[in-house]
Amino acid sequence: MSRNPQKIVFDAVAKYGSGREAVVQILTEINRELGYIPEESIVAVADAVGVSNAEIYSVISFYSFFSTEPRGRNIIRLCTTISCEMKGSREILETIEAELGIKAGATTPDGRITLETTSCIGLCDQAPAILVNDTPHTRLTPDETRRIIAGLE
């Protein structure tokens, strides 16, 4: 059971303060706990920090790890930048899409997995790479990918 969004903001402000510099930390806390940042939390953060809702929304929109839409329990982020692309990220993408029956950007109907593509995640030397939640997986093959997916709750 996650805490209510207002409470998360309240606690995060107690921890990080209500200055503008605390915004990203507060948002990270919300995003981590709820998997996304709901509208009411944006309003609560804006009120706490004393800036407009639009400003917080603008910050959220800058970071691809933040979302304003609910997402799956697990998030797979597949790198599609050039090194991974050359090492077969396209095939990995097709594998995941086929396995989950969804396209990149979508969430499985049971809410288990969200699939996203991302720019370089700094693992070019071990391409192709994905991030599953906070865990990197590198030098992927389609088989290995299927195995990783199967292991997700």
Q: Classify burial at 18, counting beta carbons within 10 Å of its beta carbon; exposed 0-12, middle 13-18, buried 19 or more.
A: middle
Choose the binding region for ligand FES from 27-35, 62-70, 90-98, 116-124 (rule: CB under 6 A).
116-124
Task: Give CA–CA dist 123/138, Å, rounded.
Answer: 7
Single residue of 2, 6, 25, 61 touching another protein by CB under 8 A: 61
Task: Kindly state the smallest distance separating residue 62's Cβ from another protein, in Å.
Answer: 5
120 contacts ligand FES (rule: CB under 6 A):
yes
129 contacts ligand FES (rule: CB under 6 A):
yes
At a CB cut-off of 8 Å and minimum separation 6, what does 59 contact?
A: 23, 24, 27
List the one residue out of 98, 62, 84, 97 whose CA is nearest residue 140.
Answer: 84
Residue with smaller CB distance to another protein, 51 or 106 = 51
Query: Contact residues for another protein (CB under 8 A)?
Result: 39, 42, 51-55, 57-58, 61-62, 64, 68
